Amino acid sequence: MLVKPKKLQPGDRVATVSPSWGGAGNPGLRWRYEQGVKRLEEIFGLQVIPMPNSLKGGDYLYQYPQARAEDLMTAFSDKSIKGIIANIGGEESIRLLPYIDFDVIYRNPKIFMGYSDVTISHLFCHKAGISSFYGPAILTDFAENVEMDPYTINMVNRTLFSNEIIGEIQPAKEWTSERLEWIEANKNKRRTMQKNTGYELLQGSGIVQGRLIGGCMEVLEFAKGTEIWPEEKYWENSILFFETSEDQPEPTYIRYWLRNYAAQGILQKAKGIIFGKPKDEKYYEEYKHEILKVMKEYALEELPILYNLNFGHTEPKFILPYGAMAEIDCTKVTFSILESGVE
């Protein structure tokens, strides 16, 4: 069982970190970072503390992965900090691995949140034995043009500020992946929202329950075979969550990756799978085809699979606490988290 961190409360100090790309500190993007911070302060009443290296810019942080790791360790070991939120993802968090002290994380359980390449930092937490949160980042969701999406605000409040059972996660009514350039001139321009069709049951029947584990599929590839790849026991009776990045990987990669999970015996151990909405809904049908193909190849046609959920590289989004007990109801086509994410 993973240790749950304590819930956030207004007035709490939270750290912002750049475990991957350091763009939050680039002069042209500082306004975006500050906009995200303002939302944390005004909507959630938090005090925001940037970690010492987190705003030194993309070039510096690319060159010094140890500086990024140091920020993580500083944020975890500082008793006055109650939560840590990643500025954004990227593609190189795996380079932090040599500099991580898992004992520091284990001894200081606290909320840690981010998505995409932050999957690697979630696996650091996972190895240390604490639950973390696959969810919004500063430069994306918190800094959304004009205002934060009410769906995301609701999910942050339900998951991080409350120790009540999270419960059923309704699909967002609308979604967007529109890429409006991050320039200050666009600050007051809303992105175009599209009607969301809701969740889709790809296969399976009945109701299944399992503990959440997963992340961004491309990023999980970095971790395979390393010391942070979860032990076998964590895949047992799990509900896997998978999503793909803004790189919009070709459908064949979904096939290759899922075959690997089957070859490892992971799919066979799972109780069910949920897939996030593909970025821009590109390859929406093609991904489904590949998923079902692999399930057939491995005689897993009974495994419940829900598709098109609002997490990962889509806005707005909900939050997935690693290790929390979740449920897929194939009859009602619903997804629920059956416990609180925090103490």
Q: Which of 303, 94, 341 is nearest to 216 (CA)?
A: 94
Estimate to the nearest angstrom the gap between the alpha carbon of 19 and the chain centroid. Answer: 14
Domain topology for 13-165 = Rossmann fold (3.40.50)
pLDDT for 246 equals 97
pLDDT for 338 equals 99
Q: How confident is the model at residue 191 (pLDDT cuts 50, 70, 90)?
A: very high
What average pLDDT does range 307-322 have in this prediction? 98
Count of Cβ atoms closer than 10 Å to residue 109 Cβ: 21
Q: How confident is the model at residue 331 (pLDDT cuts 50, 70, 90)?
A: very high
- The alpha-helical segments, DSSP class H, found in 161-249 are 217-223, 232-235
Q: How confident is the model at residue 216 (pLDDT cuts 50, 70, 90)?
A: very high
| Percent of the chain's residues with pLDDT above 70 | 100
Q: How confident is the model at residue 198 (pLDDT cuts 50, 70, 90)?
A: very high
- pLDDT tens digit string along 164-190? 999 999 999 999 999 999 999 999 999
Look up the CATH architecture of domain 174-337.
Answer: 3-Layer(bba) Sandwich (3.50)
pLDDT for 163 equals 98
- Mean pLDDT, the chain, whole residue set: 98
Instruction: State whether the Cα torsion 144-146-152-154 is positive or negative.
Output: positive
CA angle 20, 210, 212 (to 5 degrees): 10
- pLDDT tens digit string along 21-77? 999 999 999 999 999 999 999 999 999 999 999 999 999 999 999 999 999 999 999
E runs forming strands in 89-235: 111-114, 133-134, 167-168, 174-175, 194-195, 200-203, 207-216
Buried-state track 307-327, b at ≥16 Cβ within 10 A, e below 16: bbbbbbbbbbbbbbbbbbbbb
Q: How confident is the model at residue 124 (pLDDT cuts 50, 70, 90)?
A: very high
Q: Which one-letter DSSP state was computed for residue 313? A: S
pLDDT for 110 equals 98
Q: How confident is the model at residue 135 (pLDDT cuts 50, 70, 90)?
A: very high
Q: What's the rounded Cα separation, in Å, for the pair 278 and 51? A: 32
pLDDT for 257 equals 98
Q: Domain coordinates of the chain in residue numbers?
A: 13-165, 174-337
pTM over 0.85: yes
Q: What's the rounded Cα separation, in Å, for the pair 30 and 36? A: 10
